[in-house]
Amino acid sequence: MALRISVIGTGYLGATHAACLAELGFEVIGLDVDQDKLAALAAGRVPMYEPGLSDLLVKHVVGHPGSTGRLRFTSSVAEVAEFADVHFICVNTPQRKGEFAADMSYVDAAVDALAPQLTRPALVVGKSTVPVGSAGRLAERLAALAPAGEQVELAWNPEFLREGFAVGDTLHPDRIVIGVREGGRAEELLREVYATPMAEGVPMVVTDYPTAELVKAAANSFLATKISFINAMAEVCEASGADVTLLSKALSYDDRIGGRFLNAGLGFGGGCLPKDIRAFMARAGELGADQALTFLREVDSINMRRRSRMVELAREQCGGGFLDRRVAVLGAAFKPDSDDIRDSPALNVAAQIQLQGAEVTVYDPRAMDNARKMFPSLSYAASPAEAAVGAHVVLHLTEWQEFRELDPVALGAVVAERRILDGRNVLDGPRWREAGWTYRAMGRPS
């Protein structure tokens, strides 16, 4: 009989994972502690914006006309424990307040709630991003709390999906990494879960717990470093009059370097990279290996300096101060094709500028509801043009396709001053200049 699967935590990662496993043919049950989220998902509504996820949800969720009925949601841990052979833990692991370390309380709570209900053989699979050493600790916890004892196993299977491409990345990942203990059934069961992508040629790396946990931390550190590397080059370009976009283009032709993640601009944000590199540094410190990762401190600082630099450039464009100035901010999500505003560079810049006295109006195609909740004192507009009315400077801070397609002539008719700062280095500068705008980007000559 086909494996039955539970997904514990149905946020960006869990909701996608649950819907994709239903798409792969499994019976899936999703569990969360957030009743509103569960109600939305059960009604076939995705409570966040993720391209393609809504279609998968309605295709599979129980009770939706014409659905396969393979996917349902519950708040009952007992129901999940009774139902599933494999439980994926997909709960959040945010940065602890005032510290670099990861807050493991949600993972611990999920395992503590599930374990005492496991009266039959089960595999618990951690997907959340956790400090190295967590899987070993959680395996002991499971063994101590689960009535089925040794028949309950733990595996670690880090997740590499990108928001905005989450469905494609889950169904067709670059690789599958699993950390297991020798002698168990975890590998065999996970090969069954991932049989379809593996049949398409997706490689699986089977290793121990700490290596699997570290692959995720290392991948995020590498990506963050690559972004901060090019942003450090942007700082030097600004100081020397060079153009970082051409520098980056020239570098990208070198196969050893490659062009991806090499666009200079406002830097990275979101619910993963910033907190993950900080948690990695904190964990390395606990292990006595802190020196190995001191460079990540610099990666973090370069990244945060980009935000201050954008504020500085905006202040310059406003004539040296923000009082009585209107600033239009295009973008609120931390990246395009997402409504996620966790540690969003765009909103961080908007809030800093507002604190310094400007009237700031924000527009984003998808992230307005989340932004309003988190930053209620900012003003919000229903379109880029509405945000730009009377603006002394327009800031382009999230690279949505919609912003690339803006008409500089039309926008020029509503602003107070035709000044635009391109925080993502993707707008067509000559076109904006032709329409009478002062166009400035990061790391490029003015």
Give alpha helix (H) positions in 84-145: 105-114, 134-145
Nearer to ligand NAD, 92 or 361 (CB): 92
Other Cβ atoms less than 10 A from the Cβ of 413: the count is: 13
Neighbours of 395 (CB within 10 A): 28
- Own/partner pairs for 240-243, CB < 8 Å, 24+ apart? 241/445, 242/445, 243/443, 243/444, 243/445
Binding-site ranges for ligand NAD (CB under 6 A): 8-14, 31-34, 37, 90-93, 106, 109-110, 113, 128-129, 159, 161, 163, 271-272
Q: How far is the CB of 272 from ligand NAD (least distance, A)?
A: 5
Decide whether 159 or 422 has the Cβ nearer to ligand NAD.
159
Annotated catalytic residue, options 20, 237, 272, 318: 272
Angle formed at CA 222 by CA 220 and CA 223, multiple of 5 degrees: 65
Question: Is residue 60 within 8 Å of 70, Cβ to Cβ?
Answer: yes
Per the annotation, binding residues for NAD(+) are 32, 37, 93, 129, 163, 275, 342
Q: How many Å apart are CA 203 and CA 194, to the nearest integer?
A: 10
Give the nearer residue to ligand NAD in terms of CB position, either 18 or 161: 161
Between CA 35 and CA 404 the distance in angstroms is 38
In whole angstroms, how close is the CB of 177 to ligand NAD at the nearest point?
12
- Binding-site residues for substrate, in ranges, read 160-163, 216, 261-265, 269, 335
The residue (of 116 and 357) whose beta carbon lies closer to ligand NAD is: 116
Residue nearest to ligand NAD (CB): 11
Show the CA angle centred on residue 217, arms to residues 214 and 222, nearest 5°. 120
> Cβ 169 to ligand NAD, closest distance in Å?
9
Per the annotation, the verdict on 318 as an active-site residue is no
Q: How far apart are CA 77 and CA 80, in angstroms?
A: 5
Residue 111 CB, shortest distance to ligand NAD, in Å, is 9
Catalytic positions are 272
